[in-house]
Amino acid sequence: MTEPRLCELSVPGRVGFRFPAADVPSTDMPKDLLRTELPMPELSEMDVIRRYTHLSQLNHAIDIGFYPLGSCTMKYNPKINEETARYTGFTAVHPLQPIETVQGSLALMYELQEWLKEIGGFAGVSLQPAAGAHGELTGVLIIRAYHKDRGDSKRTKILIPDSAHGTNPASSAMSGLNVVEIKSDARGNVDLQALKAECDDTLAGLMLTNPNTLGLFDEHLEEVIELVHKAGGLVYGDGANMNALLGILKPGEVGIDVLHYNLHKTFSTPHGGGGPGSGPVGVREHLVDFLPAPIVGIIEEGTDEIPPLYGFITPAKTIGRVKAFHGHFGIMVRAYTYMLMHGANGLRQVAEHAVLNANYLLAKLRHAYHVPYDRICMHEFVAEGCWDDAPEVHALDIAKRLMDYHFHPPTNYFPLIVHEALMIEPTETESKQTLDAFIEAMLKIAEEAHQEPELLKTAPHITPVGRVDEVRAAKDLILACNVCPD
């Protein structure tokens, strides 16, 4: 069951919140500019609290159970992050305060930039992008600006492997570049022949997701980068999968020119039901001048007694700003908290155990589910959610049936290069017990698929609502309702 609509709860005359009376003399308002009606709900505070508490209980969440969503890195969101981000010294600070009054925030941002530079092997980092896709757009705009600055204006082609993240093509198109897809080879790597064929003097760059969305590390990474660089292009790294690489490999050292991080994946900041994220961008030396403005720098060096003065710096050839103010500061506090809790060794252990957990699931599931690109995976892997001898069952049915076992389904139907894909990413924070319970459920479902397929076709059975009519939603287009009684 879902909850009533707001208009069904609202009672004319009920008040949920009271402000103090005005303490200043009254000034007339411009009558012709005033609204005549304010159709808002009328609820008590308890009405509101119960409504949203009830709603929360209809969700699956990391705090409730396992969330093996491929490419989403649904790791545990530590509670200390939520405390530190709520310190009054952080929340009650206006973004346009004079820099002398916000040295704490600026120092934290500076340190976070330094950590991200060290982790990725980069010379510069901007914290401004608001999410992964926003970081991608920023990165591609940087690539475009770099070529333009060199007078190399014919470079308008950007290559995107078919195993890349879904947002890559749209990000490139937004920046005005033309997208050309590159296929994968039989082992899930970028097809080198296909890549070579596109490496000409119109090449702006390559957007590489590595590990890719198959969860595989490209076995020809160095050759791929070299081919692109030799042709005069730049390599963009989609860092959404950095959870597999912390302390394992620095993308900047291998030659990735620009990369975005997802603080809401790798560095444990909560997904919030769809955001807010944070997508800082790291670049190698030759791109530092193009970073979005402003970035945090040291304006006056400190001494033994006096700390440095932090402030904002505009890079010389900046692409400009990509949003208002300085980025999702509240998310930065959470990510920095997480980094301090881990330190250098802890971060490497994160990656090691994320990869361990994924390979453990792969080892236990590969005999029951076909894994088309089957080799040691990184933090995730992709299985097929279908069988020749159970023709009526699809990946979607497996996904829905998993809900009956109290698990969130894996990402399904992505990547597109795997038929009926189930993309599974356990993350490092899950225990062996949880993984074993998931394995047991997956094996049971594989059995059910062959013996009682109806169970899967009609799943889920225990959730607040059953399968929803998506066609009707798109046809009727009920996108809002009255929020108070007529």
Partner 1 sequence: MYLPHTDSERQEMLAAIGVESLADLFSSIPAKYRFPTLNLPEALSEMEVQQTLAEYASDNENLQDLVCFLGAGAYNHYIPAAVDSILRRGEFYTAYTPYQPEVSQGTLQAIFDYQSLITALTGMEVSNASHYDGATAVAEAVTMAHAHFRGKRNRVVLSPALNPMYRATVRTYHAGSGIEFVGDETTQDPKSRPDELAQFIDSNTALVVVQYPDFFGRIFDLTELAKKTHEAGALFAVSTYPIALGMLKPPGEFDADIVTGEGQSLGIPLSFGGPYLGIFTTKKEYVRKMAGRLVGETVDNRGQRAYVLTLTAREQHIRREKATSNICSNQGLMVLAAAVYLSLLGKQGLKQVANLCYQKAHYAAKQITKVKGFKVWSPDPFFNEFAIQCPSNVENINEHLLEHGVLGGYDLGQDYPALHNHMLIAVTEMNSKEEIDYLVNVLKEASHD
Of residues 174-213, those binding partner 1 (CB under 8 A): 174-177, 179
In the complex with partner 1, which residue's Cβ is closer, 195 or 354?
Answer: 354
| Total of residues contacting partner 1 (CB under 8 A) | 201
Q: Which of 154, 183, 196, 272 binds partner 1 (CB under 8 A)?
A: 272
Asked if 306 is part of the footprint of partner 1 (rule: CB under 8 A), the reply reads no
* Structure tokens belonging to residue 242: 């950095």
What is the DSSP annotation of 231-282?
A: TT-EEEEEETTGGGTTTT--HHHHT--EEEE-TTTTT----TTT------EE
Neighbour-count burial for 262-271, b at 16+ CB within 10 Å, e otherwise:
bbbbbbbbbb
- The piece of 32-40, 194-202, 229-237, 445-453 that touches partner 1 (CB under 8 A) is 32-40
Question: Which residues touch 111 (CB under 8 Å, ≥6 apart)?
Answer: 336
Q: Which of 367, 361, 445, 434 is nearest to 400 (CA)?
A: 445
Residue list 35-64, contact with partner 1 (CB under 8 A): 35, 38-43, 45, 48-49, 51-53, 55-64
> Residue 127 in contact with residue 146, Cβ under 8 Å?
no
Q: Which of 453, 466, 461, 465 is nearest to 406 (CA)?
A: 461
Asked if 327 is part of the footprint of partner 1 (rule: CB under 8 A), the reply reads yes
- The piece of 135-143, 384-392, 418-426, 447-455 that touches partner 1 (CB under 8 A) is 135-143
Asked if 222 is part of the footprint of partner 1 (rule: CB under 8 A), the reply reads yes
User: In whole angstroms, what is the distance from residue 359 CA to residue 361 CA?
Assistant: 5
Q: Which of 232, 276, 308, 453 binds partner 1 (CB under 8 A)?
A: 276
Asked if 343 is part of the footprint of partner 1 (rule: CB under 8 A), the reply reads yes
Q: Which of 146, 291, 400, 424 binds partner 1 (CB under 8 A)?
A: 400
Q: Which of 194, 349, 372, 387 binds partner 1 (CB under 8 A)?
A: 349
User: In whole angstroms, what is the distance from residue 358 CA to residue 356 CA?
Assistant: 6
- The piece of 249-257, 281-289, 298-306, 383-391 that touches partner 1 (CB under 8 A) is 249-257
- The piece of 25-33, 282-290, 298-306, 442-450 that touches partner 1 (CB under 8 A) is 25-33
Residue list 224-243, contact with partner 1 (CB under 8 A): none
Q: Using the Cα atoms of residue 296, residue 300, residue 301 and residue 303 in order, give the sign of their dihedral.
A: negative
> Residue 57 in contact with residue 410, Cβ under 8 Å?
no
Q: Which of 305, 324, 389, 391 binds partner 1 (CB under 8 A)?
A: 324
Q: Which of 374, 441, 484, 485 binds partner 1 (CB under 8 A)?
A: 484
Backbone angles phi, psi at 377, to 5 degrees: -100, 175
Q: Which of 152, 170, 197, 201 binds partner 1 (CB under 8 A)?
A: 170
Q: How far is the CB of 60 from partner 1 (least distance, A)?
A: 4
Q: Which of 230, 367, 451, 482 binds partner 1 (CB under 8 A)?
A: 482
Amino acid at 86: R
Q: Which of 123, 353, 372, 390 binds partner 1 (CB under 8 A)?
A: 353
* Cis, bond preceding 169 (omega within 30 deg of 0): no
In the complex with partner 1, which residue's Cβ is closer, 344 or 450?
Answer: 344
Residue list 74-93, contact with partner 1 (CB under 8 A): 74-78, 80, 82-93
Residue list 441-480, contact with partner 1 (CB under 8 A): 460, 463-470, 472-474, 476-480
Q: Which of 292, 331, 318, 274 is nearest to 136 (CA)?
A: 292
User: In whole angstroms, what is the distance from residue 209 CA to residue 414 CA?
Assistant: 14
